[in-house]
Structure 1
Amino acid sequence: MIKFLLLLGVALVPMSAFLSEFVEKLFHGEESDVFGPVARIPYSDLLNNNPYVDPFVLHSMKHYGFFYVVDVPGYNASTELNLMHKFYDLPEEVKANIEIRRHNPANPNAYRGYCPGLDDVENTLQYKNLYNIGPHEVRAPMTSQKDDDLMKKLRYDIQEPNVWPSTEDCEFDKEFKETFQEGFEIRRNIARAFVRSISRALEFPELTSLFAEDEFSAMGLRKYPVRKRVNENMYSDHDDTLLRELEHVDSTITVLTTFNNPGLQMLYEGVYRDAPVSDNGFIVNIGKLVDDIIDNQLVSVKHRVKETEFDRYSITYFLGPQFDADISRSMSGAMTEAGRKYTIFGEWIKDYLGAIELFYY
């Protein structure tokens, strides 16, 4: 433990019983495990801006690219998973009522709602079912209908309200909506607290102002059905492993729930290694767009999901900068990769949303 604290740069002053217990909660992995030293941060300590959290978060993000949030009061991952099973077991004609308009042109919702997956079930690597939830339940009326005011229209579009399942089972409908509204808030709290933590740790006080709003934060309930056939498109270019989810780096801030499902792998020292499951907590990682803004001080970890022999469920939450956030310059003033084409996040997400509406990744 002392050796690990020295690596973090934590001063070795006499610790109170409270602090000693706190440190043990943050670090209790096996040192022989590659990901044993990855931090496991109690939810309340992260949200309460406890300064002892920051070096542990920073160490994990610099060395591994992710950390865990645990001990979330009132949260039950099993409840979410059971509701996901019930939702995906609903008849397709019921789910069609909340499909995105790409799949059901009769519906106005483009981003929020149910996406039954791509059409080519057997040949695409990205085959998944997705139900997408956002931060808005209602939307303010559009103040301008000018055809040339594209950014104002986009501001309106990204406030698309959620659509929720409506079945003959009113108790299910109520529990589903309330559970995932609460789950959305928990994940948003985690992502914002993470921004505050790295803002303190990296001494970038301006960073938090970029995330004051979250107009297009999104939470996706994902189901990856078992495939009946595989083909060469499903194998990794890195090591020929058969994949369920392609190798990729995220763009913004991710709060991930894998439940007790194995399969997630993180790239570490050139090798994809199994990441411990989130269990009753969450996995947090950072994406390339945000990492560029903080001068690439952290690791935007490349990750993937290897093929599994069962229907795999997960939940992903993404927090991006606010609409007007300047993403063209990093905290040190250097031009970011996104800055070669965009100035504010709204311009960046305009193209990203276009891709989602076409392909819904």
Structure 2
Amino acid sequence: MKTFALVLLLVAPATALLPDLLDKLWPEEEHGVFSGVAKIPYKDLLNDNSYVDPFLLQSMKTYGFFYVVDVPEYSAALEHDYMKQFYDLDEDVKDELAIRRHNPANKNAYRGYCPGLDDVENTLQYKNLYNIGPHETRGASVESEDVMEKLRYDCQEPNVWPETGNCTFHKGFKETFQAGFEIRRNIGRAFIRSIARAMNYPNLPALFAEDEFSAMGLRKYPIRKKINSNMYSDFDGTLLRELEHIDSTVTVLSTFNNGGLEILHKNQYRAVPVTGENSFIVNIGKLVDDLIDNKVPAVRHRVAEVDFDRYSITYFLGPQFDANIARSMSGKLTDAGQKYTIFGEWIKDYLGAIELFYY
């Protein structure tokens, strides 16, 4: 048993932590260098059981991520199957859902299908993406000429769902990923509450009271048909499907049983154990790290080349549009604060950068 766990036993209620639960929260050697990564039960995280807070915080400080496990009424296998069915649809069906850069007939810039392999020689991301947000309908149109008001409106892009003539598939696909979106959003918000308690930052959750631009991306990394010289790592020369990067906000990730994800730990990229049937990986990005005074690392990660079609789902929870991101919880000027005051200002430039980056 880890020393940290023994210390916690001294301060926790006698009935709160049983040995089997401690082994789950902080498992013994089973994944080598990542054996100490915490596994937090979904219900305990969502119910704000504060005994998980120090485990979560220590895992984040040491490794930069933790697992949420035992998620009820969730099936990774079902999501995985629906993703395969979606990406097996005829291209003309998926093109109907494509964002306006690829299909000018559509209004959405970000919610929808993003074919990413049009230019295999130059693309920096060897993947396809179908992006889902929190909105099913859009509010009233904005008449104002104010740029930020227009952006607030644009952030409410409604989802687009496949219409195949197969009502069973259409209904099951939509319901499955609407439910999956809510599960991930619950995890992201509960994580913020846990970090706020553990670090004594009571004002942090208020920044995430709304999530106008939270996003869930269904990603397919196809088997590579041609080597792209742009996709070799500058760090160690490894061939990649997703370049090395650091996220920006709160990330809830499903890798299913697909390997390939690697995290930079102690100056070496190491394979991360997969999420499996009913669990998720949670980490944070640079913007959130700055808000909490850089006390938890925003880990650099990548996806290495594998010899199969790889599927994953990445959910991002960002602050609300009007959240003040200029100052950290202790009042220090953040990196973003050198140029922006609220999250809406930041997202305006960030989305432009994403569009250039992806396409």
TM-score scaled by length of structure 1: 0.95
Kindly tell me: are residues 174 and 25 of structure 1, through their superposed partners in 2, closer, same or farther at Cα, counting changes over 3 Å? same
What are the residue-to-residue correspondences of 1:250-265 with 2, within 5 Å?
250-265=247-262
1:16 is matched with: 15
Please tell me whether the aligned partners of residues 214 and 315 of structure 2 are also in contact (alpha carbons under 8 angstroms).
yes
What are the residue-to-residue correspondences of 1:229-240 with 2, within 5 Å?
229-240=226-237
What secondary structure, in the 3-state scheme, does the structure 1 residue paired with 2:160 have? Answer: coil
Q: Give the total of aligned pairs.
A: 358
Please tell me whether the aligned partners of residues 29 and 38 of structure 1 are also in contact (alpha carbons under 8 angstroms).
no
Please tell me whether the aligned partners of residues 134 and 216 of structure 1 are also in contact (alpha carbons under 8 angstroms).
yes
2:91 is matched with: 92
Which one is further off, 187-196 or 347-356? Answer: 347-356
Unmatched runs of 5 consecutive residues or more in structure 1: none
Superimposed CA distance per residue, residues 78-134 of structure 1 (whole angstroms, 9 cap, x where no aligned partner): 000000000000001111111100000011111111111142124433121100000
2:243 is matched with: 246
Compute the displacement of 1:68 (Å). Answer: 0.3
Report the residue type matching 2:263 in the other structure: M
Please tell me whether the aligned partners of residues 120 and 228 of structure 2 are also in contact (alpha carbons under 8 angstroms).
no
1:350 is matched with: 348
User: Which runs of structure 1 show a deviation greater than 6 angstroms over 4 or more consecutive aligned residues?
Assistant: none
TM-score scaled by length of structure 2: 0.96
2:326 is matched with: 328
Aligned counterparts of 1:54 and 1:355: Cα–Cα separation in 2: 35
Aligned counterparts of 1:32 and 1:304: Cα–Cα separation in 2: 19
Superimposed CA distance per residue, residues 29-79 of structure 1 (whole angstroms, 9 cap, x where no aligned partner): 416711001001110000010111101100010010000001000100000
What secondary structure, in the 3-state scheme, does the structure 2 residue paired with 1:184 have? Answer: helix
Compute the displacement of 1:238 (Å). Answer: 1.1
Aligned counterparts of 1:68 and 1:97: Cα–Cα separation in 2: 36
What secondary structure, in the 3-state scheme, does the structure 1 residue paired with 2:323 have? Answer: coil
Compute the displacement of 1:216 (Å). Answer: 0.2
Compute the displacement of 1:235 (Å). Answer: 1.4
Aligned counterparts of 1:12 and 1:99: Cα–Cα separation in 2: 54
Report sequence identity in percent.
69
Please tell me whether the aligned partners of residues 10 and 55 of structure 1 are also in contact (alpha carbons under 8 angstroms).
no
What are the residue-to-residue correspondences of 1:80-119 with 2, within 5 Å?
80-119=79-118
Report the residue type matching 1:5 in the other structure: A
Please tell me whether the aligned partners of residues 250 and 284 of structure 2 are also in contact (alpha carbons under 8 angstroms).
yes
Kindly tell me: are residues 154 and 250 of structure 1, through their superposed partners in 2, closer, same or farther at Cα, counting changes over 3 Å? same
Pairing 1:196–2:212 present: no
Aligned counterparts of 2:115 and 2:228: Cα–Cα separation in 1: 21
Superimposed CA distance per residue, residues 307-357 of structure 1 (whole angstroms, 9 cap, x where no aligned partner): 011111100000000000000000111100000100000000011122334
Aligned counterparts of 1:88 and 1:136: Cα–Cα separation in 2: 22
Aligned counterparts of 2:9 and 2:260: Cα–Cα separation in 1: 34
Compute the displacement of 1:21 (Å). Answer: 3.2
Which one is further off, 111-120 or 251-260? Answer: 111-120
